[in-house]
C-alpha cells in the first residue's frame, strides 16, 4: 500500500497545523522590521521540533509535498501571497524524493531533509524582492511609511540567496534539535 490513505492525511493535517501554529507564533517577531530577515532562521530552527516528529512517522511518498501545499495555502489565506504555495510544493516534493531515496530509515538524511524542506519559507520573501515597488505600496496603508522604509532597508535586492542558505542551515540545526527531543520516536520507528 504505497498510496496515501485516511490515516496519512490525518497525520499530515495534524502536523501541518501544529507546525503552522508554532511558526506563526515565532514569525510574529516580524512586526519589528529588523527581525524580518531573521524569520528565515528562527522559523526553521523552531519548526524542526514538530516537523522531525512528523518525519519519524512518514513512510509514504507525497506526505511532505501535501504538507508543503497546505502550508502555502494557509500562508496565502493569512495574507502572505501565493509564492509560498509554489515553494511549499517544490521543497515538499524535493524533500519527499530525499526521504524516499533513503527508504525512510535514516535519521541523518531526515535531518538534512528538514533543512531542504525549510527552504519553503523563501516564498514569504520573494514578493519583497521581485515585486518590490508594489510590495512597498501595499505596506503603506497598514504599516506606514517609516515601517515600510525600514523594512526595505533590511531587505536589499540581493538578499534571497542569503535567506535561502540561512533557512537550509537553520533547518538542519532545527532538525538536530527535533531529532534529539524525539530520539525515542525515531528508535521505535526503526530509523537509524
The pTM of the full predicted model, rounded to 2 decimals, is: 0.92
Hey, where are the domains in the chain?
6-188
Report whether 21 contacts 148 (CB < 8 A).
Answer: no
Please name the residue that has the C-alpha cell 535519521. 107
CA pair distance 44, 53, nearest whole angstrom: 14
Q: What is the per-residue pLDDT across 3-46, written as a single tens digit (0 to 9) for each?
A: 999 999 999 999 999 999 999 999 888 888 888 899 999 999 99
Instruction: Say which CATH topology domain 6-188 has.
Output: Arp2/3 complex 21 kDa subunit ARPC3 (1.10.1760)
pLDDT confidence of residue 13:
96
> Which of 15-19, 110-114, 128-132, 163-167 is the least confident region?
128-132
How high does pLDDT run on average in the chain? 93
Say if residue 74's pLDDT is above 80. Answer: yes
Say if residue 192's pLDDT is above 80. Answer: no
CA pair distance 184, 175, nearest whole angstrom: 15
Question: Considering only CA atoms, which of 153, 117, 122, 125 is closest in space to residue 33?
Answer: 153
Q: What is the per-residue pLDDT across 148-164, written as a single tens digit (0 to 9) for each?
A: 999 999 999 999 999 99
Cell of 145: 511609511
Amino acid at each position: 500500500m504505497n498510496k496515501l490513505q485516511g490515516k496519512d492525511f490525518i497525520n499530515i493535517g495534524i502536523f501541518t497545523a501544529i507546525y503552522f501554529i508554532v511558526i506563526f507564533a515565532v514569525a510574529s517577531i516580524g512586526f519589528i522590521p529588523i527581525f524580518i530577515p531573521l524569520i528565515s532562521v528562527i522559523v526553521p530552527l523552531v519548526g524542526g521540533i514538530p516537523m522531525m516528529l512528523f518525519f519519524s512517522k512518514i513512510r509514504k511518498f507525497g506526505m511532505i509535498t501535501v504538507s508543503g501545499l497546505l502550508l502555502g495555502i494557509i500562508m496565502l489565506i493569512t495574507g502572505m501571497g501565493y509564492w509560498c504555495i509554489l515553494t511549499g510544493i517544490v521543497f515538499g516534493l524535493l524533500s519527499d524524493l530525499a526521504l524516499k531515496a533513503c527508504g525512510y530509515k535514516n535519521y541523518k538524511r531526515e535531518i538534512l531533509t528538514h533543512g531542504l524542506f525549510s527552504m519553503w519559507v523563501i516564498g514569504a520573501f520573494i514578493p519583497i524582492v521581485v515585486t518590490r515597488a508594489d510590495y512597498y505600496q501595499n505596506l503603506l496603508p497598514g504599516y506606514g511609511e517609516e515601517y515600510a522604509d525600514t523594512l526595505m532597508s533590511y531587505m536589499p535586492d540581493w538578499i534571497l540567496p542569503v535567506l535561502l542558505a540561512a533557512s537550509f542551515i537553520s533547518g538542519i540545526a532545527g532538525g538536530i534539535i527535533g531529532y534529539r527531543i524525539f530520539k525515542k520516536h525515531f528508535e521505535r520507528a526503526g530509523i537509524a
